[in-house]
Amino acid sequence: MGIKYQQNYQVPFYESDAFKKMRISSLLAVALQISGEQSTALGRSDVWVFERYGLFWAVIEYELTIHRLPEFNEKITIETEATSYNKFFCYRNFSFLDENGEVLVEIRSTWVLMDKATRKLTVYWMKLLILMNLKKYQKFHVLINSVKLTNLVMLKKLFILSVFQH
């Protein structure tokens, strides 16, 4: 397992639907934001990785388990942890918790590191992932009752984040 990171968050109006529930696109956007903030805290921000190596992160799969959607103005805590990796993929989990510590939403995600110049996956992992204390080839357990967005490919903040709308 990697280093856990958490941040408190209050759901704003513009991330809520007509029923005052947080939109799924907003859940994913906030998850991306939190993962980027953890990378920055570890000294390996998205900008640093891009400028130094010409690499960027892309999410290729999300798996969501929604127990209850957070609501407008609700104070929640978002936890994230990069859990494992192999030659091609990195796995990261997110948990959205209410003020009582109850799990509202769980997100499992699969990430790849891509080269800007070639637009291909890169296997240049070790220097970036050693910082997170990850174990090689340890994949998370698959949740049975979850919504799986398998064909969703989303490039991280530096590229197409605004297209996905979050």
The SS3 assignment for 51 reads: helix
Query: What integer pLDDT is reported at residue 3 of this predicted model?
Result: 86
Of 82-96, 102-116, 151-165, the poorest mean pLDDT is in 151-165
In-domain check, residue 56: yes
In-domain check, residue 61: yes
Query: What integer pLDDT is reported at residue 134 of this predicted model?
Result: 56
In-domain check, residue 166: no
**CA 39 remoteness from chain centre:** 11
101-112 pLDDT per residue, tens: 999 999 999 999
Nearest to 116 by CA among 162, 156, 62, 165: 156
Q: What are phi and psi of 111, to 5 degrees?
A: -125, 150
110-141 pLDDT per residue, tens: 999 898 999 888 876 555 555 555 555 444 43
* Arithmetic mean of pLDDT, 11-25: 97
43-83 pLDDT per residue, tens: 888 898 888 888 899 999 999 999 999 999 999 999 999 98
**Rounded distance, CA 7 to CA 95, Å?**
11
CATH number for the domain harbouring residue 148: 3.10.129.10
pTM: 0.75
pLDDT band at 164 (very low <50, low <70, confident <90, very high): very low
In-domain check, residue 16: yes
Q: What is the number of structural domains in the chain?
A: 1
Query: What integer pLDDT is reported at residue 128 of this predicted model?
Result: 58
CB 73 within 8 A of CB 10: yes
Domain enclosing residue 50, as ranges: 5-160
Q: Calculate the CA dihedral of residues 7, 129, 150, 122 and round it to 10 degrees.
A: 140
Any idea what the Cα angle at residue 146 is, between residues 144 and 151, rounded to 5°? 110
